[in-house]
Structure 1
Amino acid sequence: MLLRLFYLALTSMFTLLRLMPISDRDKDAEILALRHQLAVIQRQTDKRKLTWPDRALLAALLHRLPRVRPSSTTADRLA
Protein backbone atom coordinates (compact mmCIF):
# COMPACT_ATOMS: atom_id res chain seq x y z
CA MET A 1 0.00 0.00 0.00
CA LEU A 2 2.80 2.40 0.91
CA LEU A 3 4.69 1.48 -2.24
CA ARG A 4 1.59 2.21 -4.36
CA LEU A 5 1.15 5.59 -2.69
CA PHE A 6 4.79 6.43 -3.37
CA TYR A 7 4.40 5.33 -7.01
CA LEU A 8 1.28 7.45 -7.51
CA ALA A 9 2.95 10.49 -5.92
CA LEU A 10 6.04 10.06 -8.09
CA THR A 11 4.09 9.67 -11.33
CA SER A 12 1.94 12.69 -10.45
CA MET A 13 5.07 14.74 -9.83
CA PHE A 14 6.54 13.78 -13.21
CA THR A 15 3.22 14.58 -14.91
CA LEU A 16 3.19 17.99 -13.28
CA LEU A 17 6.78 18.67 -14.33
CA ARG A 18 5.94 17.66 -17.91
CA LEU A 19 2.89 19.91 -18.07
CA MET A 20 4.43 23.02 -16.48
CA PRO A 21 6.15 24.43 -19.62
CA ILE A 22 3.08 23.81 -21.82
CA SER A 23 0.68 26.71 -22.36
CA ASP A 24 -2.98 26.50 -21.34
CA ARG A 25 -4.05 26.47 -24.99
CA ASP A 26 -1.87 23.44 -25.72
CA LYS A 27 -3.16 21.68 -22.60
CA ASP A 28 -6.75 22.30 -23.70
CA ALA A 29 -6.00 20.91 -27.18
CA GLU A 30 -4.42 17.80 -25.65
CA ILE A 31 -7.39 17.27 -23.33
CA LEU A 32 -9.82 17.60 -26.24
CA ALA A 33 -7.80 15.13 -28.32
CA LEU A 34 -7.71 12.62 -25.47
CA ARG A 35 -11.43 12.98 -24.78
CA HIS A 36 -12.20 12.42 -28.45
CA GLN A 37 -9.94 9.37 -28.58
CA LEU A 38 -11.72 7.97 -25.52
CA ALA A 39 -15.13 8.57 -27.09
CA VAL A 40 -14.01 6.83 -30.29
CA ILE A 41 -12.65 3.84 -28.37
CA GLN A 42 -15.87 3.54 -26.37
CA ARG A 43 -17.91 3.52 -29.60
CA GLN A 44 -15.69 0.88 -31.19
CA THR A 45 -17.02 -2.16 -29.41
CA ASP A 46 -17.72 -3.97 -32.67
CA LYS A 47 -15.92 -1.95 -35.36
CA ARG A 48 -12.22 -1.19 -35.69
CA LYS A 49 -11.90 1.73 -38.16
CA LEU A 50 -12.22 5.47 -37.56
CA THR A 51 -14.78 7.35 -39.59
CA TRP A 52 -13.66 10.31 -41.69
CA PRO A 53 -15.13 12.90 -39.26
CA ASP A 54 -13.19 11.26 -36.41
CA ARG A 55 -9.98 11.43 -38.41
CA ALA A 56 -10.60 15.06 -39.38
CA LEU A 57 -11.27 16.10 -35.77
CA LEU A 58 -8.23 14.24 -34.44
CA ALA A 59 -6.01 15.75 -37.14
CA ALA A 60 -7.26 19.26 -36.31
CA LEU A 61 -6.75 18.78 -32.57
CA LEU A 62 -3.37 17.09 -32.87
CA HIS A 63 -2.16 19.81 -35.24
CA ARG A 64 -2.32 22.29 -32.32
CA LEU A 65 -0.10 20.16 -30.05
CA PRO A 66 3.60 21.03 -29.89
CA ARG A 67 5.87 18.62 -31.71
CA VAL A 68 8.20 16.57 -29.52
CA ARG A 69 11.59 16.22 -31.08
CA PRO A 70 13.86 13.52 -29.64
CA SER A 71 17.40 14.60 -28.85
CA SER A 72 18.89 11.55 -30.57
CA THR A 73 17.67 9.02 -33.08
CA THR A 74 17.46 5.30 -32.54
CA ALA A 75 20.46 4.80 -34.82
CA ASP A 76 22.54 7.12 -32.61
CA ARG A 77 21.63 5.09 -29.55
CA LEU A 78 22.63 1.81 -31.18
CA ALA A 79 26.03 3.11 -32.33
Structure 2
Amino acid sequence: MLVVFSVACAFAFSACASDPHGRTAGTTVDDAMITSSVKSSLIADDLVNAFAIEVETYRSTVMLSGFVETQNQIERAVDIAK
Protein backbone atom coordinates (compact mmCIF):
# COMPACT_ATOMS: atom_id res chain seq x y z
CA MET A 1 0.00 0.00 0.00
CA LEU A 2 2.88 2.37 0.77
CA VAL A 3 4.36 1.78 -2.69
CA VAL A 4 1.08 2.72 -4.39
CA PHE A 5 0.85 5.89 -2.29
CA SER A 6 4.46 6.81 -3.10
CA VAL A 7 3.90 6.32 -6.82
CA ALA A 8 0.69 8.36 -6.71
CA CYS A 9 2.52 11.18 -4.92
CA ALA A 10 5.34 11.08 -7.45
CA PHE A 11 2.88 11.47 -10.33
CA ALA A 12 1.04 14.26 -8.54
CA PHE A 13 4.23 16.22 -7.91
CA SER A 14 5.61 15.63 -11.40
CA ALA A 15 2.44 17.07 -12.94
CA CYS A 16 3.20 20.35 -11.19
CA ALA A 17 6.91 20.30 -11.97
CA SER A 18 8.39 22.44 -14.69
CA ASP A 19 11.05 21.69 -17.22
CA PRO A 20 14.22 23.82 -17.39
CA HIS A 21 12.36 26.23 -19.68
CA GLY A 22 9.58 26.91 -17.19
CA ARG A 23 6.90 24.73 -18.78
CA THR A 24 4.72 22.38 -16.80
CA ALA A 25 4.48 18.74 -17.81
CA GLY A 26 1.08 19.45 -19.35
CA THR A 27 2.40 22.35 -21.42
CA THR A 28 5.33 20.25 -22.58
CA VAL A 29 2.95 17.50 -23.72
CA ASP A 30 0.71 20.05 -25.45
CA ASP A 31 3.73 21.52 -27.26
CA ALA A 32 4.83 18.06 -28.38
CA MET A 33 1.36 17.32 -29.74
CA ILE A 34 1.32 20.60 -31.69
CA THR A 35 4.79 19.90 -33.10
CA SER A 36 3.75 16.41 -34.14
CA SER A 37 0.57 17.66 -35.79
CA VAL A 38 2.36 20.38 -37.76
CA LYS A 39 5.15 18.03 -38.83
CA SER A 40 2.63 15.40 -39.97
CA SER A 41 0.76 18.01 -41.99
CA LEU A 42 4.00 19.20 -43.60
CA ILE A 43 4.90 15.62 -44.52
CA ALA A 44 1.48 15.11 -46.12
CA ASP A 45 1.84 18.25 -48.24
CA ASP A 46 3.25 17.91 -51.77
CA LEU A 47 4.52 21.50 -52.07
CA VAL A 48 6.99 21.58 -49.18
CA ASN A 49 9.88 19.29 -48.29
CA ALA A 50 9.00 18.54 -44.67
CA PHE A 51 12.38 16.95 -44.03
CA ALA A 52 14.09 20.29 -44.71
CA ILE A 53 11.91 22.12 -42.17
CA GLU A 54 12.41 21.93 -38.41
CA VAL A 55 9.31 22.43 -36.24
CA GLU A 56 9.61 23.58 -32.64
CA THR A 57 6.82 24.59 -30.29
CA TYR A 58 7.19 26.57 -27.08
CA ARG A 59 4.08 27.39 -25.06
CA SER A 60 1.87 26.85 -28.12
CA THR A 61 3.95 29.14 -30.35
CA VAL A 62 5.28 27.26 -33.38
CA MET A 63 8.64 28.16 -34.91
CA LEU A 64 9.65 26.86 -38.33
CA SER A 65 13.24 26.87 -39.52
CA GLY A 66 15.02 25.30 -42.43
CA PHE A 67 15.54 25.68 -46.14
CA VAL A 68 13.03 25.91 -48.98
CA GLU A 69 13.38 26.86 -52.61
CA THR A 70 10.56 29.34 -53.17
CA GLN A 71 8.48 31.99 -51.46
CA ASN A 72 5.40 29.83 -52.16
CA GLN A 73 6.92 27.03 -50.07
CA ILE A 74 7.52 29.46 -47.20
CA GLU A 75 3.94 30.69 -47.35
CA ARG A 76 2.57 27.15 -47.58
CA ALA A 77 4.61 25.96 -44.57
CA VAL A 78 3.42 28.95 -42.52
CA ASP A 79 -0.20 28.32 -43.55
CA ILE A 80 0.11 24.68 -42.50
CA ALA A 81 1.59 25.67 -39.14
CA LYS A 82 -1.31 28.02 -38.42
On whether the aligned pair clears a TM of 0.5, the verdict is no
TM-score (structure 1 length as normaliser): 0.31
- Tell me which protein shows more strand as a share of its residues: 2
TM-score (structure 2 length as normaliser): 0.31
- Tell me which protein shows more helix as a share of its residues: 1
The higher relative CO (CA closer than 8 Å, separation ≥ 6) is in 1
